[in-house]
Amino acid sequence: MDLRFGDSKPTDEERAAVDALLGPPESSWEGADRSDADLRWARGGREARERRDLLLPGLHAVNDRIGWISEGALDYLCRRLTVPPAEAYGVATFYAMFSVKPRPSTVLHVCTDLACAAAGASELCAGVEARLGLGSGVSVERSPCLGLCERAPAALAIKAGDPVRTAVSAPATVERAVLAASAPDSAPEEPPAALAVPQAGPAGREELVLLSRVGVVDPASLDDYRAHGGYTALRQAFAIGPAGVIREVTDAGLVGRGGAAFPTGRKWQATASQPDHPHYLVCNADESEPGTFKDRVVMEGDPYSLVEAMTIAGYAVGAHKGYLYLRGEYPRALERMEHAIGQARARGLLGEDVLGQGYAFDIEIRRGAGAYICGEETALFNSIEGYRGEPRSKPPFPVEKGLFGKPTAENNVETLVNVLPILTMGSQAYAAIGTGKSTGPKLFCVSGSVDRPGIYELPFGATLGELLDLAGVRKRLRAVLLGGAAGGFVRPDELDIPLTFEGTREAGATLGSGVVLAFDDTVPLPRLLLRIAEFFRDESCGQCVPCRVGTVRQEEALHRIVERTGADAASDIALLREVGRAMKDASICGLGQTAWNAVESAIDRLGAYE
């Protein structure tokens, strides 16, 4: 264990930021002024170590207040939590949104990922960097996907202070991005979440189930939510009991919407049956897959639905505490979810006695800080616990030993909100939507070269062509990326693929989390593949060799092919195949196992380098 505290001292602002989260220190062992008693005995160490999970919120507190994390601030936070400084440094440097080097108090994150790249992100970055040069007081950082793909290109400004201020510019121009960075309080307000749902008009709303309230209810009003059917499902859950809820979810055929498609009822039953207690519920709202933004729209437009769904899930699996792990790049979703949870708690819908039923349940929000790997469930658990967000080996599985080593049910936002219609309409009616193996409605994130980008809700079984007809392809279609960066490309003559888990598998593609990125013939495909390779190289946690080395080798080979600096493109493609197989076979988690998928499909299905 490394306990080498340095001589650096925190500033008053840094100390205040940490103390606002943890409370004032009780002894000099935690950083207070030394008293005579402190020379006689040490106290509070065990209690401090039990708060290790507050390391990530502590890093956020300092970064939000100051803009970066100094050695003195990190030292003070480590003393407060009795965390070895070397470990805390490893955590702080793991996340892209933190900096352990001095930087201006304002950071402008400009998205350079797939949808934004196709919408001119390179020109936007160059223009912003030219306008905000040295001495502007703004640090411009090229960022992975910000989850604003329907309004690409996008930028997010974060101005440190008390309180921290944020401004989103999307679709961004150089002038709008500069305004957001220089005066975030004066930046135009974000458009309502309903604009991200093209079906929200009168003609399409009747078909909506999961998105029916987005644009109809006031997302800040609990009364409005209840007036539109809110908390009907929770009352039904209490009427049929935990076993009844699990039975309904199982009979409905609900499977995880994050890409793995694991049966939700089986996961909940396995968690509920574990004799070890306490049980935990974790909602994974860290959707960082390039092209994915559905969970953000739900949280911004219908936040109480997620609060209700998490309460039902907690009740079913026997959990009394739920964690909502929310992307650090979603300031408006954070604000709306904090308000919804506070209102639900104040009205007896969270807390010691939910709806007077004798069931205790509460939700705590934990913010991510820019790490795609934390979308993997065990990496997410490590992140919450205050460790680097690296995946764990399985078994044991999370239903046996998950968060804090206890039985845990983990689901994403879309999976959880599907539980509401299952309980209100009944499992049989829900299962009648979609197909026999893929039941219910599905949310699709459509962006790229389309006229109406946004979230679309369709029953499983609709074809890719039908979805793209709704979105309207702008020009001559070159390719469609299904499943995001971890998915695969399909050709324009393959639009009859049914959008189901089994249908896409049979077609040699993947549905993933529902990303549909359309690219016309003006988009340079080789550059796009290189960006995908750069993404996986950046986001690899580095824990296992196949992924840590393989993602670098993949990027290097694509650089040689794109820039024509290699001796022979054929030999580089052969190397890509070899590296891809090694990553797929030997990587510890899904990031390395899928990092080759999009490149492989572009080579084999599109003839990208022929």
pLDDT single digits (tens) 110-159: 999 999 999 999 999 999 999 988 778 899 999 999 999 999 999 999 99
Percent above pLDDT 90 for the chain: 85
pLDDT band at 523 (very low <50, low <70, confident <90, very high): confident
Residue-wise pLDDT for 404-454, tens only, equals: 999 999 999 999 999 999 999 999 999 999 998 999 999 999 999 999 999
pLDDT > 90? residue 378: yes
- Three-point CA angle 363, 366, 371, nearest 5°: 145
Quick one: pLDDT at residue 50? 84
Q: How confident is the model at residue 42 (pLDDT cuts 50, 70, 90)?
A: low
Residue 56: which residues within 8 A CB-CB, separation 6 or more?
A: 91, 366, 367, 369, 383, 384, 386
The Cα–Cα gap between 181 and 132 comes to 9
Q: How confident is the model at residue 204 (pLDDT cuts 50, 70, 90)?
A: low
CA 139 to chain CA centroid, nearest Å: 24
Residue 259 is predicted with a pLDDT of 82
Contact 300, 333 (CB under 8 A): yes
What pLDDT, on a 0 to 100 scale, did the predictor assign at position 34? 62
Contact in structure between 523 and 509 (CB atoms under 8 Å): no
pLDDT beyond 80 at 49: no
pLDDT category of residue 211 using cuts at 50, 70 and 90: very high
Q: Is 72 helix (H, G, I), strand (E, B) or coil?
A: helix
- CB under 8 Å to 186, separation ≥6 — which residues? 179
Give pLDDT, residue 39.
Answer: 60
**How far apart (Å, rounded) are the C-alpha atoms in residues 240 and 247?**
10
Tokens 């639905």 correspond to what residue? Answer: 305
- Residues 262/255, Cβ–Cβ less than 8 Å: yes
Judge whether residue 195 has pLDDT over 70: yes
Could you tell me the pLDDT band of residue 1, with boundaries at 50, 70 and 90?
very low
State the average pLDDT for the chain.
Answer: 93
pLDDT tens digits, residue range 263-291?
A: 999 999 999 999 999 999 999 999 999 99
- How far CA 278 is from CA of 34, 69, 284, 416, in Å, comes to 38, 34, 19, 21
Contact yes or no for 257/384 (Cβ under 8 A):
no
Checking if the pLDDT of 397 tops 70, the result is yes
Sign for the CA dihedral angle at 440, 441, 443, 448 comes to positive
> Which residues are CB-neighbours of 107 under 8 A, at least 6 positions away?
67, 138, 139, 141, 157, 158
User: pLDDT per residue over 55-96, tens digit each?
Assistant: 999 999 999 999 999 999 999 999 999 999 999 999 999 999
DSSP secondary structure string for all residues of 191-243: PPGGGG-GGGSHHHHTT-STTTTTTTS-TT-HHHHHHTTTTHHHHHHHHHHHH
In a 10 Å sphere around its CB, with 0-12 CB exposed, 13-18 middle and 19+ buried, how is residue 9 labelled? Answer: middle
Q: Which helix (H) or strand (E) holds 413?
A: helix 413-417
* Contact in structure between 599 and 559 (CB atoms under 8 Å): no
The residue type of 522 is T
Per-residue pLDDT tens digits for 472-501? 987 789 999 999 899 999 999 999 999 999
610 — pLDDT class (breaks 50, 70, 90): low
Highest mean pLDDT: which range of 26-40, 350-364, 473-487: 350-364
Q: Dump pLDDT digits (tens) for 215-239.
A: 999 999 999 999 999 999 999 999 9
**For 101-106, what is the mean pLDDT?**
96
Question: Do 380 and 388 meet the contact criterion of CB atoms below 8 Å apart?
Answer: no
Rounded distance between C-alpha atoms, residue 558 and residue 439, angstroms:
39
Q: What's phi and psi for 262, nearest 5 deg?
A: -80, 140
Residue 43: the pLDDT is 62
Q: Considering only 1-15, 286-300, 501-515, which range has the smallest mean pLDDT?
A: 1-15
Identify which of 101, 80, 103 has the alpha carbon closest to the alpha carbon of residue 92. Answer: 101
- Spatial distance between the Cα atoms of 362 and 509, rounded to a whole number of angstroms: 39
Terminal Cα distance for the chain, rounded: 54
Region of poorest pLDDT, from 6-10, 288-292, 572-576:
6-10
Residues in the chain, overall count: 610
User: How many of the other CB atoms lie within 10 Å of CB of 220?
Assistant: 14
pLDDT at 172: 96
